[in-house]
A and B are shown apart, each in its own frame.
Chain A
Amino acid sequence: MSFRRFWALFLCRNLEFLRDRSSLTWNLLFPLSLIAGFAFAFSGPGLDLYKVGVLGDPSDWNDSGFFKTRYIQFIPTADLPAALTKVQRHQLDMLFDPVGQRYWINDESPKGYVLERLLRGTERNSTLSKQTVSGRVIRYVDWVMPGVLAMNMMFSCLFGVGYVIVRYRKNGMLKRLKATPLTPLEFLSAQIASRLWLILASTVLVFVGTDWVIGFPMFGSYLDLFIVFAVGAISLISLGLVVAARATSEELAAGLLNVLSWPMTFLSGVWFSLEGVRPFLQKAAQLAPLTHIIDAARAIMLDGAGLMDISGHLLALTAMSIGFMAVGAWMFRWE
């Protein structure tokens, strides 16, 4: 491994990316506009809809007036701690246990206050016991932002490495490099390093920019979040290498990359929680690096998790990176 050769390739790849204004703009503007769009869509007055989690079997629900109230969405739930977390985060406005005759609201939630009045009004004869939780409101945009950042990273890593290497192969660039003393290890590591720092830099820029405009909660450590994105980017770049290892046409590469990226987008919980999704799909989602990146990033940002709390995700991402890199390097052909 010659550092001189690695560095020369690394610099040229960086220059190619940075001078390609359309690509650079796309990498920065796409996630910015996406997050701004969500912030706009979900920060306004919105629908007058209250969300009430209801503990227990739905068949146990009585036909009281409260359940007949319009504009309230009743969501059955069995997991009390998870439901309480949602009340804390204002994802649920109230949690109601009709069997136990108790309810929880967030003292800082105006919707919780209104719902409590409604419940007390419709259930006058009941001896309801009030429990309170507290927690800052977590908007949808706060929840979706780590997913959008990770998704943007995924597209950039997969296409920025996988597609580019296939293009190099198709136009004869790799054949020319093969005729030099350059080794596949030097070539591949330069591609990985170049894409890694570029995607991390652009992710940091997007994060800072959107945080400045919209403002996100951050209960964990920025360094931990950076580590998650770095390890995640390595795993996604390595996955891109597997696709690029042999493919000789950009059409095939684009097809393969789409086959990988779109299911990951839908199954990794970028836009919605996987709760309620079929169990085998939830298990399948664990095979995707994007799921681990998003879950770990959300845990750090919204729950204040530390590295130990998300060590499972980091281990999974590291194992995937090693596996993908080994397969990619083993399969790699210059032509």
Chain B
Amino acid sequence: MTALLEAHRLVKHFRGVKAVDDLDLAIPTGCCFGLLGPNGAGKTTTVEILEGIQEPTSGLIRYRGEPLGSRFRQDIGIMFQSTALQDYITGRENLRMFGSFYRRTLPLAELSDACALGEFIDRDTRKLSGGQRQRLLLAIALVNDPELLFLDEPTTGLDPQARRNFWELVHRIKARGKTLLLTTHYMEEAYHLCDEIAIMDHGRIIAQGTPRELLEEHFDDVVLELPQADFRDLPLPSWLTVMHCRDTVEILTRDVNAAIRELLARDISLARLQIRPRTLEDLFLELTGRELRA
């Protein structure tokens, strides 16, 4: 796949702090690319430079092999995590206004269907629920039928049902061959939606690949999870790594059968034992050493 958007040796300084440090990135056409990182990793700055909102201190960005220009502005759609809309204006009026900024626009009916705007399209935007508002913001981002769509933490603050509904919308956009750049705090979201993921920390990309590749590359073990109350603090063999979390104990092992035998030998109840593969969240913690929402 050819790269739709490329960044080469991006650097951004803020009052002596290097927010983005010599970063290289290529987003293939038709890919849903996830950019993950803890707070302060330089993720937002990187995305805003890629969106053309901020100027880099140095480095190059190319869209379809050319520097960012008026064509880029016409071709992209952006959904910020929080965008205020004009008060007293309905969703339909907002879509009309944003649509007027572009040469090419999608019909309102198509946008309304695609983003499930329904009857609230004619409601004052101040009176929309969180999920409705996010759907309207997505519709605004799609108003010009963009080739490249930036989604900046699009489901933050949504309830699980609204988040799942939103994922459905993103899947539909992907199915139309659009390219997406997604930033999110939710690893499950990144795993479900992204074809490729880059994890950032300290302004640099520290890991990149498909979610499956990354997990296979970094982990060959599984996690046994037990409630803290069931785990008696008895010494375990050194080949088992034990991690005490808030309410649970996680035991990392490559050999599940042997690990279970060791637990049974110490008379530990396995009634509430859970066995799960390693997740992106584990990978994130392993690579950055930080909580996701620090």
Chain A residues close to B by CB (< 8 Å): 4-5, 7-9, 11-13, 15-16, 19-20, 168, 171-173, 175-176, 178-182, 335
Inter-subunit contact B51/A15 (CB<8 Å): no
Contact among B52, B74, B84, B94 for A171, CB-based, below 8 A:
B84
- What are 19 A-B pairs at a CB distance below 8 A? A4-B100, A5-B100, A8-B96, A8-B100, A9-B97, A12-B86, A12-B93, A16-B88, A19-B88, A171-B84, A172-B82, A172-B83, A175-B53, A175-B80, A176-B84, A179-B52, A179-B78, A181-B70, A181-B102
B243 touches A (CB below 8 Å): no
Question: For the complex, what is the distance from the CA of A12 to the CA of B125, rounded to whole Å?
Answer: 13
Contact A16:B89 (CB < 8 A) given known A171-B84, A175-B80: yes
Is A176's CB under 8 angstroms from B89's CB? no
Produce 1/0 per residue, B48-92, CB < 8 A to A: 000111000000000000000010011010101011111111000
Could you say which residues of chain B place their CB within 8 Å of the CB of A19?
A: 88
Query: Is B98 located at the chain interface by the 8 A CB criterion?
Result: yes
Nearest CB in chain B to that of A168: its residue: B84
- With an 8 Å Cβ cutoff, the count of chain B residues facing the other chain is 25
**SS class of chain B's interface: helix, strand, loop or mixed?**
loop
For the complex of A and B, the 10 pairs showing the least CB-CB separation, nearest first, are A171-B84, A8-B100, A19-B88, A180-B101, A181-B73, A179-B78, A8-B97, A176-B83, A12-B97, A173-B84
A176 to B70, CA, bound (A): 16
Q: Are A179 and B88 in contact (CB under 8 A)?
A: no
Asked if residues B88 and A15 are in contact (CB atoms below 8 Å), the reply is: yes
**Chain A contact residues: over half helix, strand or loop, or mixed?**
helix
B100 near A7 (CB under 8 angstroms)? Answer: yes
Which residues of B have CB within 8 Å of A178?
53
Q: Quick one: which of B53, B73, B86, B96 contacts A16, CB cutoff 8 A? A: B86
19 new A-B contacts, CB < 8 A, other than A5-B101, A173-B85, are A8-B96, A8-B97, A8-B100, A12-B86, A15-B93, A16-B86, A16-B88, A20-B87, A172-B80, A172-B82, A175-B53, A176-B78, A176-B80, A176-B84, A179-B51, A179-B78, A180-B101, A181-B74, A181-B101
Identify the closest chain A residue to B78 (Cβ): A179
**Chain B residues within an 8 Å CB radius of A15:** 88-89, 93
Q: Which A residues are in CB contact (< 8 Å) with B88?
A: 15-16, 19-20
In the complex, chain A residues whose CB is within 8 Å of the CB of B78: 176, 179
The residue of chain B having its C-beta at the shortest distance from the C-beta of A176 within the complex is: B83
Residues of chain A contacted by B76 (CB below 8 angstroms): 179
Q: How far is the CB of B136 from chain A (nearest CB, A)?
A: 12
Minimum CB–CB distance from A145 to chain B (whole Å) comes to: 32
With both chains docked as a complex, state the minimum distance between the C-beta of A321 and any C-beta of chain B, in angstroms: 26
Docked complex Cα distance between A175 and B85 (Å)? 11
Cα A298 to Cα B84 with chains together (Å): 43
B101: chain A residues at CB < 8 Å are: 5, 8, 180-182
Which residues of chain B come closer than 8 Å to A11, judged between CB atoms? Answer: 97
Min CB distance A160 to B, Å, is 13
Please measure, in the bound complex, the distance between the C-alpha atom of A15 and the C-alpha atom of B102, giving whole angstroms: 21
B72 to A, closest residue via Cβ = A181
List of B residues within 8 angstroms of A5 by Cβ: 100-101
Q: Complex formed: what's the CA distance from A261 to B74 in Å?
A: 41
Judging by beta carbons under 8 Å apart, are B100 and A179 in contact? no
Considering the chains assembled together, what is the distance between the CA atoms of A7 and B88 in angstroms?
18
* Other-chain residue from A8, A16, A335 in contact with B87 (beta carbon distance below 8 A): A16
B216 smallest CB distance to A (angstroms): 37
Residues of B within 8 A of A173 (CB): 83-86
